[in-house]
């Protein structure tokens, strides 16, 4: 498999490379990225060489990791040999070292760490210009086969003039015939029956056309209640009775009832009745803590589960998606993406109950500030999540922070 755009990146920057790939493909570009397009059992290096030779553009995701990558240097050499245009994009404010400074001396890079939406559009426009450029050999062939001879052009122009002249003469004759044959209308528009109101005839005078008044219609005004004068302001509503004012807010009353009971069922009942209530997040955290603090009973869900973690765009920050495998054993879930404690890693632990209700506690180590709402690379981020499993699938959501979603598929 090959594509016009080859994405070159350090393996430590897979998260941001995939994000850029998704953003470009959403805009209609076809990309090749090794983490997705190298097939199982395929020689990794051979696949890269083949994809790079077939590409028109090498999109270099430049970071501090890429700045020290020997593999990317090799890919740059291959791109030069195969006359593949290199477009560098910086996702960190990093100055190229000596090896890359030479490569970038005549190239203009694009920064993607200031205003994502504007800069990804700029990148897409630049890639569009590069991909539209035609190689000289192709341009000559196209010109030779597509341009007609001068004689053919001249003959075609003469034929067109004859046809246009004949068409104009026919149009004039038809218009004259229509005017000549059309009966004269002696009735003025003002006297047309549909636009005239006549006055009843009298004995002394014959009926005459009555001028038609042109009235501009406007939207009717609101109907005024009969008991209220039009030129007076509406009556001020009376204050509610003291008994009604003293009644507790239903949301608060339900929350007080749930906290008094302190059970998972009570908090679940609050969430059921007030799905967007004042204490929604607090109730979800209480449910999660109660599940995580109890013994797991969902051993019927034991097995390997492909886990997908997806976060949407937030303002100028792009969304992203993780995919990794997790295992449920005796109702307890454990999943790991990347290397624990390293940037772009994710640890997820949880418990599943017999009815499929599950709670999780996880930690993400930021890999790129672009997709982490500005947080610095290496920053840890803890969170809770709730989910619901059923047979061979499950869905869930993050409780705190960005509203990210979880999806599970049993393998």
CATH of the domain at 15: 3.40.50.10140
264 and 312 in a single domain? The answer is no
353 and 270 in a single domain? The answer is no
231 in a domain, yes or no? Answer: no
Least reliable range by pLDDT among 6-15, 119-128, 188-197, 227-236: 188-197
Q: What are the backbone dihedrals phi and psi of residue 267, each rounded to the nearest 5 degrees, phi first?
A: -70, -35
Least reliable range by pLDDT among 126-135, 140-149, 156-165, 277-286: 140-149
Q: Three-state SS for 387?
A: strand
- Model confidence band, residue 39 (pLDDT cutoffs 50, 70, 90): confident
For the chain, what is the domain count?
3
146 in a domain, yes or no? Answer: no
DSSP result, 305-351: EEEEEEE--BTTBPPEEEEEEEEEETTEEEEEESSTTSTT-EEEEEE
22 and 119 in a single domain? The answer is yes
285 and 303 in a single domain? The answer is no
Please say whether the beta carbons of 346 and 366 come within 8 A.
Answer: no
pLDDT at 147: 34
278 and 318 in a single domain? The answer is no
267 in a domain, yes or no? Answer: yes
Question: Final residue of a domain: which of 138, 166, 187?
Answer: 138
CB-facing half-sphere around the CA of 13: CA atoms within 13 A: 27
Q: Three-state SS for 279?
A: coil
pLDDT at 184: 40
154 in a domain, yes or no? Answer: no
161 in a domain, yes or no? Answer: no
Question: Final residue of a domain: which of 138, 153, 186?
Answer: 138
Residue 246 CA to its chain's centroid (Å): 47
pLDDT at 59: 95
261 and 336 in a single domain? The answer is no
Least reliable range by pLDDT among 115-119, 159-163, 285-289: 159-163
Domain of residue 39, residue span: 5-138
315 and 281 in a single domain? The answer is no
42 in a domain, yes or no? Answer: yes
CATH of the domain at 318: 2.40.160
User: What is the pTM assigned to this prediction?
Assistant: 0.54
276 and 305 in a single domain? The answer is no
CA dist., res. 117 & res. 120, Å (int):
5
21 in a domain, yes or no? Answer: yes
368 and 265 in a single domain? The answer is no
205 in a domain, yes or no? Answer: no
- Model confidence band, residue 154 (pLDDT cutoffs 50, 70, 90): very low
Question: Final residue of a domain: which of 261, 292, 323?
Answer: 292
277 and 378 in a single domain? The answer is no
37 and 110 in a single domain? The answer is yes
284 and 347 in a single domain? The answer is no
Region label for 212, one of left (φ > 0), alpha (ψ between -120 and 50) or beta (otherwise): beta
């Amino acid at each position: 498999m090959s594509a016009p755009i080859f994405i070159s990146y350090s393996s430590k920057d897979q998260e941001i490379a995939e994000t850029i790939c998704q953003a470009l493909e959403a805009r209609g570009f076809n990309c090749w990225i090794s983490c997705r397009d190298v097939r199982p059992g395929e020689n990794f290096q051979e696949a890269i060489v083949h994809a790079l030779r077939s590409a028109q553009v090498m999109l270099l995701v430049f970071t501090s990791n890429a700045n020290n990558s020997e593999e990317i240097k090799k890919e740059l050499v291959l791109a030069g040999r195969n006359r593949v245009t290199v477009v560098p994009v910086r996702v960190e404010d990093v100055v190229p070292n000596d090896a890359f400074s030479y490569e970038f001396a005549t190239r203009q890079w694009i920064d993607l760490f200031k205003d994502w939406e504007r800069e990804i559009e700029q990148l897409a426009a630049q890639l569009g210009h590069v991909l539209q450029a035609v190689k000289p050999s192709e341009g000559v062939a196209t010109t030779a086969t597509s341009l007609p001879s001068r004689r053919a052009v001249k003959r075609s122009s003469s034929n067109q003039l004859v046809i246009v002249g004949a068409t104009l003469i026919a149009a004039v004759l038809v218009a004259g015939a229509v005017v000549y044959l059309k009966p004269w209308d002696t009735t003025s528009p003002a006297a047309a029956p549909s636009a005239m109101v006549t006055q009843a005839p009298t004995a002394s005078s014959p009926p005459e056309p009555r001028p038609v008044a042109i009235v501009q219609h406007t939207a009717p005004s609101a109907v005024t209640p009969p008991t209220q004068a039009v030129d007076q302001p509406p009556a001020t509503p009376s204050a509610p009775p003291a008994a009604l004012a003293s009644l507790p807010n239903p949301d608060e009353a339900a929350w007080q009832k749930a906290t008094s009971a302190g059970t998972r069922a009570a908090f679940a009942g609050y969430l059921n009745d007030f799905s967007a209530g004042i204490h929604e997040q607090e109730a979800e955290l209480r449910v999660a803590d109660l599940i995580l603090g109890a013994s797991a009973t969902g051993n019927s869900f034991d097995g390997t589960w492909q886990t997908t973690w997806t976060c949407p765009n937030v303002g100028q920050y792009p969304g992203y998606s993780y995919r990794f495998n997790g295992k449920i054993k005796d109702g307890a879930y454990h999943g790991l993406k990347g290397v624990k404690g390293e940037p772009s890693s994710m640890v997820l632990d949880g418990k599943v109950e017999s009815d499929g209700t599950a709670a999780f506690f996880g930690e993400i180590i930021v890999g790129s500030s672009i997709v982490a709402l500005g947080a610095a690379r290496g920053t840890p981020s803890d969170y809770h999540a709730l989910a619901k499993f059923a047979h061979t699938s499950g869905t869930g959501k993050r409780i705190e922070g960005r509203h990210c979603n979880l999806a599970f598929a049993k393998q």
